[in-house]
Structure 1
Amino acid sequence: MTAHAPHPELTKNQALVFGSLSNAGGPLTAYAILDLLRENGFRAPLQVYRALDKLVEYGMVHRLESLNAFVACSHKGCSGHGTAAFAICEKCGDVNEFTPDEAIGLLKSWTESRGFQLSRTTIELRGTCKNCATTN
């Protein structure tokens, strides 16, 4: 995944959490981030969760609900589109972020027709990636 430049208003803790996710190359739980950042003065999960909440709000990090983990966004300007989609391999754990424009259009039409005020959408596809499928 390609990380983007840190948000200019990041606190030290937010920058450290974002850096750990950007360098991880895959999803991390809050507790895994805490373990990585203990040498930087992190002592409690709440420090990590506060930073993650802001990073998610900025659109720099996404929460993968099905894994209870977080990934750095791989799209520039992600905070603007409010929708994230991920293909998660259940064998190797690879996570690929993508933008399914047609599906997003259908979801927006559905919400608008029902007066539902959509704030954020996360789509998670679980299955087997091409590499894992061809090695079996």
Structure 2
Amino acid sequence: MSETAHTPAGLTRNQALVLEALARADAPLTAYTILDQLREEGFRAPPQVYRALDKLVESGRVHRLESLNAFVACRHPGCDGHTTVAFAICENCGKVAEIGNDALVKSLRAIARGEGFEISKTTVELRGLCAACRAG
């Protein structure tokens, strides 16, 4: 299948492969890690991965974790249109939990409005230890 052919989900072959790699991952992946994992599928250069990631982020299927410069597949179907997302990132094991919380979204919007600011996109990253690492 060529890069421009579409899968049934409406993704290009490269987008589908990148999304599958992220969905399989136990932790966030950098673009270069994705490239290494997909070399056998014909990926040869970073721009192939970055183009796929850009489209997947734009469509809300993937989120970029700014502090890690890495990506995760969206695991929360009701992400409020993917304009406000929160993540809990374990500093010990690297696992990431996507948090969907309407109260958080409303609070952030109210705070911003109080400052005369309109939010177009928000990513909140909480760093600490997950329950499993705290217990272990």
User: Could you say which TM-score interval applies, normalised by the shorter chain?
Assistant: 0.7 to 0.9
Q: Quote the residue 2:59 is aligned against.
A: 58
Q: How many angstroms does 1:61 deviate by?
A: 0.3
* Correspondence list, 1:32-47, <5 A: 32-47=33-48
Mapped contact 1:85–1:122 kept (Cα < 8 A): yes
- TM-score, normalised via structure 2 length: 0.87
Percent same amino acid among aligned pairs?
61
Q: How many angstroms does 1:64 deviate by?
A: 0.8
Q: How many angstroms does 1:40 deviate by?
A: 1.0
Structure 1 residue identity aligned to 2:11: L
Answer 1 or 2: higher relative contact order, Cα 8 Å, separation at least 6. Answer: 1
Structure 2 residue identity aligned to 1:75: H
Aligned length in residues:
130
Instruction: Give 5+ residue unaligned stretches, structure 2.
Output: 1-6
Indicate whether 1:73 and 2:74 are aligned.
Answer: yes
Q: Quote the residue 1:30 is aligned against.
A: 31
Q: How many angstroms does 1:105 deviate by?
A: 0.7
Structure 2 residue identity aligned to 1:84: V
Provide closer, same or farther for how the CA distance between residues 121 and 18 of structure 1 changes in structure 2, counting only shifts above 3 A: same
What root-mean-square deviation, in Å, do the aligned CA atoms of Structure 1 and Structure 2 show?
1.8
- TM-score, normalised via structure 1 length: 0.87
Deviates more, 1:76-85 or 1:124-133: 76-85
Q: How many angstroms does 1:82 deviate by?
A: 1.6
Q: How many angstroms does 1:114 deviate by?
A: 4.0
- SS of alignment partner, residue 125 of structure 2: strand
Instruction: Give 5+ residue unaligned stretches, structure 1.
Output: 1-5
Q: Quote the residue 2:17 is aligned against.
A: 16
Mapped contact 2:79–2:100 kept (Cα < 8 A): no
Separation of aligned partners in 2, 1:120 and 1:134: 34
Indicate whether 1:123 and 2:124 are aligned.
Answer: yes
Provide closer, same or farther for how the CA distance between residues 89 and 106 of structure 1 changes in structure 2, counting only shifts above 3 A: same
Q: How many angstroms does 1:101 deviate by?
A: 2.1
Q: Quote the residue 1:134 is aligned against.
A: 135
